[in-house]
Amino acid sequence: MIRRARRDRTAALGFGRVRTLGVRAVVGVPAVAAVLANVASGQNPDQGVYADSIVFGQSAALTGDAMALGTNMNLGIRAAFEEANRNGGVHGRVLRLVARDDGYEPEAAARNTTELVESGVFGLIGAVGTPTSTAAEPLASAQAVPYIGPFTGAEFLRAIERESVVNVRASYYQETEEMVDYLTRDLGHERIAILYQDDSYGRAGLSGARLALGRRNMALVSEGTYMRNTTAVKRALLDIRQGRPQAVIIIGAYRPAAEFIRWARRVGLNAVIVNISFVGSNALLNELGAAGNGVVVTQVVPFPSDTSVPVVASYQAALRAVAPAAVPGFVSLEGYLAGRLAVESLQRLDADEPPTREQFLDQLRSAGSIDLGGFPVEYGEADNQGSDEVFLTVIRGGRFQPVDRLSR
């Protein structure tokens, strides 16, 4: 652990009472009889619960420019589920994951979510992105389907009315606060610019950066934008360079971020480059090659090679079991943590009854601190975010290194 970043959150974070569709919501004697028959047989297929399995759904970018994020979240979740299945599952039920590709596009994410919910899944897990979650989460929440571990730090998912959302990671506001804190206090930089994706994800990071600077009576010296699922960043680079920044915050995906960094080096913009965790660290490293030296990324999970953290050691073993050639990384570790949280929460429910979504969410709110193995998470009636941890990493010598300061 490098640094604890628990702060007063800048938005109300909530977990209100969840209203699920159960026996009380069914009208008519035949319908009640059918539900009771399912309960007696130990299953609830409308909620993805069967006598031998519990089914989760995932809509994420499995193709396209953000595919490294979706495929690695999927890999981490599967590693956690298969780990549980090898040990007998949860109260005798194995965990299954049905994944759909949305290409990091909101319309596809909405369509996938509707189909998954209608097919009967216990929860949605491991969604990737703010614009996709903006489209998908309301559809899941309308049916009280848990929306677990989305790979985004957007503030709207932490609002009090998001009753079915289970965030694992710290928020973008917390990450940008840490970025600005390091840049101003550690390096003494005053001229900070931003490159952001021109959608709800980029604007969430932009808002966080402005708030962090505003708390220090500062403002961005320049801004640049690019369109989602493109690498068209040259115009943004010219706009940003005009502000003569000492540092540039990037709120983007790995390919456009890498393109910007390469061009910045070519034109002599020698500012410190700081990326938010969503960038996808391993993919960014692979894209940049030698041009990555000195690039900073904030992280919201432990270092994936630090096996002194028990959950990281478990993650590495689980990863090898499902994909022996896979390289441990921050994104698949985040997926694993989301999967582990789902497993842990289900294990705490009554083994003699089929689990329900309402019980799952109620248990999380009342459990207190849940230790996933050196990575604690905690929820409550007014808090749907488990962790506030933000870590700092820098690319040096062709690999990421954990650091606790940016100055030499």
Query: 327 lies in a domain?
Result: yes
Query: 93 lies in a domain?
Result: yes
* 140 and 211 together in one domain: no
Q: Give tens-digit pLDDT for 357-402.
A: 999 999 999 999 999 999 999 999 889 999 999 999 999 999 999 9
* 136-147 core/surface letters (b: 16 or more CB in 10 A; e: else): bbebbbebbbbb
- pLDDT exceeds 70 at position 2: no
| Per-residue confidence (pLDDT) for residue 382, from 0 to 100 | 86
Using a cut of 0.75, tell me whether the model's pTM lies above it. yes
Grouping H, G, I as helix, E, B as strand and the rest as coil, residue 210 is helix
* 72 and 167 together in one domain: yes
Q: Which residue has the tokens 């299953």?
A: 43
Query: 374 lies in a domain?
Result: yes
Query: 215 lies in a domain?
Result: yes
CB 236 within 8 A of CB 139: no
Domains of the chain: total: 2
- pLDDT exceeds 70 at position 228: yes
Supply the CATH number for residue 340's domain.
3.40.50.2300
Orientation of helix 330-347 relative to helix 67-86, angle to 10°: 40
Q: Give tens-digit pLDDT for 39-50.
A: 445 688 999 999
Amino acid in the structure at residue 226? Y
Query: What value does the mean pLDDT of the chain take?
Result: 90
| Per-residue confidence (pLDDT) for residue 180, from 0 to 100 | 98
Which candidate, 175, 142, 181, places its Cα nearest to that of 161? 142
Measured CA to CA, the distance from residue 307 to residue 214 in angstroms comes to 38
| Residue 38 pLDDT class (50, 70, 90 cuts) | low
Query: 135 lies in a domain?
Result: yes
| Residue 1 pLDDT class (50, 70, 90 cuts) | very low
* 201 and 297 together in one domain: yes
- pLDDT exceeds 80 at position 37: no
Q: 246 exposed, middle or buried (CB, 10 Å; 0-12, 13-18, 19+)?
A: middle
Which residues, in sequence order, are bridge partners of residue 59?
100
* 241 and 204 together in one domain: yes
- pLDDT exceeds 90 at position 28: no
Mean pLDDT, rounded, for 192-203 = 96
| Per-residue confidence (pLDDT) for residue 43, from 0 to 100 | 83
* 214 and 160 together in one domain: no
Query: 37 lies in a domain?
Result: no
**Gyration radius of the chain's alpha carbons:** 21
* 214 and 294 together in one domain: yes
* 161 and 73 together in one domain: yes
Mean pLDDT, rounded, for 95-106 = 97
Measured CA to CA, the distance from residue 19 to residue 390 in angstroms comes to 32
* 182 and 320 together in one domain: no
Query: 9 lies in a domain?
Result: no
For residue 270, the enclosing domain spans 172-303+391-403
CB 173 within 8 A of CB 157: no
Query: 7 lies in a domain?
Result: no
- pLDDT exceeds 60 at position 256: yes
* 129 and 177 together in one domain: no
- The DSSP 8-state label assigned to residue 171 in this structure reads P
Q: Give tens-digit pLDDT for 79-89.
A: 999 999 999 99
| Residue 25 pLDDT class (50, 70, 90 cuts) | very low
| Per-residue confidence (pLDDT) for residue 160, from 0 to 100 | 85
